[in-house]
Chain A
Amino acid sequence: MIDEKPTFEKAQQELDEIVGRLERGDVPVDDAIALWRRGEELYRSCVALLDAAEGRIEELSRDSS
C-alpha cells in the first residue's frame, strides 16, 4: 500500500502536530507561515501517497517452506 519514505503515518502525524501548534497559537507569525507551508506540503504528499497506492494481494508459498 504505502512504502515510500517518509511514510504516510509520519506525514499525517506531523501534519496533526502542525495543526495543533497553529491552533494553540504559541508561535511567532513568521514561524506560523513556515509551519503552514510545511503543513500544506504534508497534506499534498499524503493525498499523493493515497492516490498512488493500489490494493494488492500477495501470496506467500504454502506453509512458507
Chain B
Amino acid sequence: MSKVESKVYGDRKVFAVSAFNRGIASWLAKLPEVWVEGEVTELRRNDAWATCFLTLKDPETGATLAVTMSRRRFDALELDLTDGERVHINGRPELYEAKGSLTFRAATIERFGLGDHLAALERLKRTLAAEGLFAAERKRSLPRFPRAVGLLTGVDAAARGDIVAAISARFPPAWIVVAETRVQGDAAATAIVKSLTALAAHPAVDAVIVSRGGGSFEDLLPFSDERVVRAVAACPVPVVSAVGHEQDTPLCDLAADVRASTPTAAARLVVPDLDELVAGLARSRERLGTGVRRLVARDRERLERTAGQLRAAPRLLLERRRAVLVASGGRLRVLSPQATLERGYAIARNATGVLRSVDDVEVGERIDVQLAAGSLGARVEKVQP
C-alpha cells in the first residue's frame, strides 16, 4: 500500500480529503471479516443496480449500520428477506471514499438463529413427546353441539373473519366467544396462554379454536412456545389448532386435540351442519314412527296366530281322539272270537259256560252252539271221550 500523501505547512502535516479517505479505507481493509447481528430495515434492491443496500439496526439500542452487498451475491442467496427480519451478516467495514461514509460490505447474510430455533424446537418437541403431551390417547373428541365456541385470534386478523363466517354459514345459531390476542412478538406467548385460559373458563364454551393466519416461521413461533403448548394440552375443553397453513406444524398442533388446516375445516370440527341436523332429526322421527308401527304390527300378527291356534285346538283334539279310537277298534277286532268263527269254528255252551271237554256235559243235555252267523239249539245224543 502506498504511503498516503500529505502536505506540510510549517510543523503541520495536512491530508487532502481524498487522501485521508483512502488512508482510512486502506486501514479498514486490513480488518478481518466479522459477523454482525441485527434487524434488516430499509432493504433496497433493484434489478438495475449492481449493489443492494440495507440498514442493519440494533433492536436493543436502535443503532444502525449501512450495509451494502453485491446484488448478484444477494440474489444468489435467495433469502427472500423482508424488513424486520433478524440476520447475521458476515463482511468487513468499508469506507465509501467519495463520501467518507462507513458501510459494511456484506459477503454473506444468514437468517439469524433459524437453525438454533429449529434445534430448540426439536428438543422441546422431544421433551414434550416424552412426557406424553402429544399422545393419541390424550386426544379428546369434540362435542357435537358445543353450547359456545371459543375463538382465539389475532387482533383484527383475517383469520377471525374467515372462521366466524365459516362457523355461521354451517350453523347460523352458533354462539362464538372471541378473544382477540396478540399473537406476534415477545408478549404473544403470555397473551395466548391468558386468552386460552379465559376462553376455557367461560361457562358456555365447550370447545376452543386457536387460530392464526399464515406467517413466516418466526411469526408462528409463539405457537410453539412451551407455555402455549402446555396450556393447549392442559386446556379443560377440547382445542382445535388452526394455526398457519397446511405445511406449518407449530407444536401447539401436536398438543391440540385436532388440527384444522383451513377455517372451513375448523368450522366443520366445532359445529354441526344445521341443514343436515334438521334433516337428521326428521329422519329420526320417521324411523321412530316406522319402528313403533312395525312393532305394533308384529304384535298383532303374533296375537292373531295365537288366536288361530286357540280356535283350532278342540278340533285337533277330537281328531286325535278319533284316531286313537279307530286304532283301538282294529285291535279289538283282531282279538274277538268272531274272526275265529268266520274260519268255521263254533263255540258250544251249556248253562255253566263254554264247553271245553265232554266231561262238561251229560247225554241228553241241551246246549247252545254259536256259529259265525247265528246259533243252534242242540241236544247231546252221545259223548265220546
Question: Which residues of B lie under 8 Å from residue A57 when comparing CB positions?
Answer: 164, 175-178
Given contacts A23-B287, A64-B197, contact A59 B296 (CB under 8 A): no
Interfacial chain B residues near A1, Cβ < 8 Å: 145-148, 171, 173-175
CB-CB under 8 A for A22 and B288, given A50-B277, A64-B194: yes
Is residue B274 within 8 Å, beta carbon to beta carbon, of the partner chain? yes
**Interface presence of B155 (CB below 8 A):** yes
- How many chain-B residues does the 8 Å CB contact rule pick out? 45
A58 and B179 alpha carbons, distance in the complex (Å): 9
Point out the residues of chain A lying under 8 angstroms from B295, CB to CB: 22, 25, 27, 29, 32
Main secondary structure of the interface of A (DSSP, over half): helix
- State A55–B171 Cα separation when bound (angstroms): 8
Question: Is B41 at the interface (CB under 8 A from chain A)?
Answer: no
Q: Known interface pairs A9-B144, A9-B145, A32-B295. Does A63 touch B195 (Cβ–Cβ under 8 Å)?
A: yes
Closest CB in chain A relative to B228 CB, distance in Å = 14
Which residues between 6 and 65 of chain A lie within 8 Å of chain B, taking CB atoms? 7-9, 12, 15-16, 18-19, 22-23, 25, 27, 29, 32-33, 35-36, 39-40, 43, 46-47, 50, 53-60, 62-65
Instruction: State whether A36 and B147 are in contact (beta carbons under 8 Å apart), knowing that A12-B281, A29-B295 are contacts in the complex.
Output: no
Are B178 and A58 in contact, with the CB atoms below 8 A? yes
Contacts A7-B145, A55-B174, A60-B198: A46 and B288 contacting too (C-beta < 8 A)?
no
Contact among A33, A40, A50, A62 for B285, CB-based, below 8 A: A40
Whether the Cβ atoms of B288 and A40 lie closer than 8 Å is yes
Contact call B291/A36, Cβ cutoff below 8 A: yes
In this complex, the interface size class of chain A, counting residues with CB under 8 Å from chain B, is 35 or more
Residues on B lying within 8 angstroms of A by beta carbon are 143-148, 155, 164, 168, 171-182, 191, 194-195, 197-199, 202, 204, 274, 277-278, 281, 284-285, 287-289, 291-292, 294-296, 298-299
A-B contact pairs, 27 of them (CB 8 A): A1-B147, A1-B174, A2-B147, A7-B147, A9-B144, A9-B145, A12-B284, A19-B287, A19-B291, A22-B287, A22-B288, A22-B295, A25-B298, A32-B296, A36-B289, A36-B291, A50-B277, A54-B173, A55-B174, A55-B175, A57-B164, A57-B178, A58-B148, A58-B178, A62-B155, A63-B181, A63-B191
Residues of A near any B CB (own CB < 8 A): 1-3, 7-9, 12, 15-16, 18-19, 22-23, 25, 27, 29, 32-33, 35-36, 39-40, 43, 46-47, 50, 53-60, 62-65
